[in-house]
Amino acid sequence: MSQIETIASRKWVYLFEEGNKDMKTLLGGKGANVAEMRAVGLPVPPGFTITTEACNEYYHNERQMLPGLREQTLEALKHVEKLTGKTLGDKTNPLLVSVRSGSPLSMPGMMDTVLNLGLNDDTVEGLATQTGNRWFALDAYRRFISMFGRIVLGVDEEKFSRVLERHKAQTEGKRDTDLSIMQLEDVIASYKRIVYASLNEQEFPQDPLEQLRKAISAVIESWMGKRAVDYRRVHRISDMLGTATNVQAMVFGNLGWDSGTGVCFTRNPSTGERMLYGEYLLNAQGEDVVAGIRTPHPIAELQKELPECYGQLVEITQRLEQHYQDMQDIEFTIERGKLWMLQTRNGKRSGVAAIRIAVEMVAEGVIDQTTAVGRVAPEQLDQLLHPMVDPDAQVTVLTVGLPASPGAASGQISFDPDEAEQLAAEGQAIILLRDETNPDDFHGMVAAQAILTARGGMTSHAAVVARGMGKPCVAGAGALEVNYAQQICTIAGSTTYLRRGDWITLDGSTGRVLLGKAPTIQPQFSEYFTTLMQWADAVRTMGVRANADTPQDAATARKLGAEGIGLCRTEHMFFGEERLPIVREMILAESLAEREVALEKLLPFQEQDFFGIFRVMEGLPVTIRLLDPPLHEFLPSLEELLQSLADLKFTVQRAQNLADMDVVLRQLWEKEKLLKQVHRLREANPMLGHRGCRLSIVFPEIAAMQARAIFQAACKAQSQNIKVLPEIMIPIVSTPEELRLQLDVVRRTATKVFGEQGTSVEYLLGTMIELPRAALVADKIATHADFFSFGTNDLTQTTFGLSRDDSARFLPTYIKEKIFLEDPFQVLDREGVGQLVQMGIERGRSVKPDLKIGICGEHGGEPSSVEFCYQAGMNYVSCSPFRVPIARLAAAQAALAGVKRDT
């Protein structure tokens, strides 16, 4: 059998009757769930699904339609025609279909949909006769031409919009539903002329089968469209999944005021409250709600307008939530009083909502505690840790919209998603302000701190995408009038207007738009958060510590559940206003005696810092890293000094008296002395130069002072009945001898201090494994160490040969071109760096089976990296204080997943 015959013989198309919810990988989420709804007896229009395998094969086949796909599609179409009693292209009884995408993982609004397919100049008349509603038929046709023209034919959407807005402006109500039949006919004629002019004098396609073929290709092509690719990059979804394509008989929500369409959630996706939550429009089609074309009504109002349909909807949504055991996001259409279900999927939700839903579903007996722990994505906890607007602050409220996605953010206004992306890349905080967003704005939404729209509802594109990304969003702020041409936004009833670049604050929890930068406070954690974290800690077997350098950081870490400090960076203590001059005095010292004088001055500051941390972390381990960076980091930059010297020399020339001259000359002498030392300490590659243990081997008095400060603080704490567990860590070790020399200094200092104090404390000595050589000789290094802590920031730099600071210029290109799947400084590189980590663990424990091992790079707070650390057999991870809850939940989920540990 030839390759073409093999491809042609594969099953590319499944009827809805052939699928179920467990076939998401093949049929996509939409196709699998529609099939499931049909299987359990819910009212679902008939249709079929073209598989994700067809999508992937399409790209493998150089974007050529697959052998056998056309025949299978036509066969499935005949089945739909039989079930509906209608025929695609029939002039008297036409079948219309929708063509929708459907990835295995939800990507709301990121790919394309075509509705009302099958209409042409003949079938539109048949549809008018069939329904007895010519207005509806013409409305469906104008919608189809613009949607097909934009998505399939590539015509600029703005051209269609201008025509429609011009005709709406001529009506009394200014809505599309107010257009007359004559106006609709004129709109259709204008749309067709637009297509003709845009396609080099090609007519709008009239053959329904040709329309279907092109629409299927367009949906498959949208899998690799920019917004879909951007979305997958942000949400770490593989390009290899592919999208399914669903072809389904149309049901119409725009047949009159007994028809409608809507989107609803079985619980509030922002707060998690148990209630039917959503929006609908009567006499409308689905894109009107999602795209924010008309401001929809709260779902509760449907009970008054169509009570029977509302009752059915409530009953069905409850059934679906029980069936899937999760909050559902549901699309429905009502056609002349009959309810049809078009889609259900696990709903996107905010972090606040995710936690509440998980905890309450346990209380309701829907799921158990372990399911609840696995139900919340660790990244969602980050949303709970973001600041909120200070409720006691005096703020100026510009307007109020819908609280579409919680949280608070301040930024400068940008009206353009491309500009927002560019400005954000330059480090500016941006609020993207749009009349309404559409999927093509996604890259700008990613870049922005928050999103503000003048139109749209709680289920609009802006709201759904913002909630999925955890960004604050205020939608449907109807008082705003956006003028893109002038780059301003007016506010109804106010003389205030907003310009590009103005600072505003969005409060996504209340819907308020505030003038300027509003004061914020740290959030308060709910009882739901506390409960979920207790469940997570109960199943977690790997410890979670925090990176903290001050008592304040340590207190925050404990509040967030840290079980110790995994990295205390002593150099951060040197930058205080009182301390930096002393550090510089030490650096400028020309003899050991001068250096020791300076170190003696620093000692009380270091001891005070360590005592404060020991007191806060009472009973928990504190890992203290001795001085790591090169000394030049504590001196002014060369450029700064040269400029200062030039200014002083100019001042000398203009000095008016000897007293002034004497002061300036002394300053000049000090600056020149400092410049000489900066030149002496300057290195071509300081991150691989005289730093860490290398510095303290040349100047052992530095390590001795720091060790003395640690042990004196520990003895003082112990004398006050504060339990202390100090762990002293030596950085940048590459040989066993380096570690031995440094630990000898620490032990000698400990013996002296304990003798002076008349007491002693238990302590551990260890090292960071942050150089490839250290991992390779970890068995030899382990003979001197009580513990290892992997410094994966430096280990990543030295393994890849990348500078973390400089690589930002090209890493985005590497990720875009898929040279790197992830930024290795954000997500631990398992294949390379991870192999060194595993090697270091295995070799270290081959000498000391009980060797305590952790990680203290920022990878310790990234969920995928935490899972790797669990799998590798680490005892703990350590991360910044505000990522501690994320690491706790990620560690719990790794344990629940049953990932095999190496220990």
Region for residue 236 given its phi and psi (left: phi exceeds 0; alpha: psi -120 to 50; beta: otherwise): left
- To 5 degrees, how large is the angle CA 498–CA 503–CA 504? 80
CB proximity list for 281: less than 8 A, separation 6 or greater = 253, 260, 261, 262, 288, 289, 294, 296, 297
Bridge partners for 498 per DSSP: 489
Give the span between the Cα atoms of 655 and 166, in whole angstroms. 73
For the four alpha carbons of 485, 488, 491 and 497, in that order, the dihedral sign comes to negative
The strand order across the sheet containing 480-483 reads 480-483, 488-491, 497-499
Helix axes of 736-757 and 700-719: crossing angle, nearest 10 degrees:
40
Q: d(Cα 135, Cα 761) in Å, to the nearest integer?
A: 87
856, 859, 869, 879: the active-site residue: 856
Q: Which residue has the tokens 């469940």?
A: 535
* 720, burial (CB in 10 Å: exposed 0-12, middle 13-18, buried 19+): exposed
Is there a contact between 513 and 401 (Cβ–Cβ < 8 Å)? yes
Q: In terms of DSSP bridges, do strands 787-790 and 764-769 run parallel, antiparallel, or are they unpaired? A: parallel
Residues in the chain: 903
> Any residues with CB less than 8 A from the CB of 516 and at least 6 apart, and which?
396, 410, 503, 504, 505
Beta bridge partners of 747: none
Q: How far apart are CA 871 and CA 855, in angstroms?
A: 13
Could you tell me where the beta strands, DSSP code E, fall in 11-106?
A: 13-15, 47-50, 97-102
Residue 479 CB partners (closer than 8 Å, separation 6+) = 399, 491, 492, 493, 494
**Under 8 Å CB-to-CB from 533, ≥6 apart: which residues?**
561, 885, 888, 889
Which residues, 6+ apart, have CB-to-CB distance to 416 below 8 Å? 444, 484
Residue at 96: amino acid letter: L
Catalytic: which of 167, 461, 784, 859?
Answer: 461
**Contact criterion met (CB below 8 Å) for 115 and 288:** no
Pairwise CA distance, residues 709 & 714, whole Å = 8
* Angstrom distance (rounded) from CA 657 to CA 125: 100
- Amino acid letter, 505: T
Told to judge if 461 belongs to the known catalytic residues of this protein, a careful annotator would answer yes
Q: Which residues are catalytic?
A: 461, 856
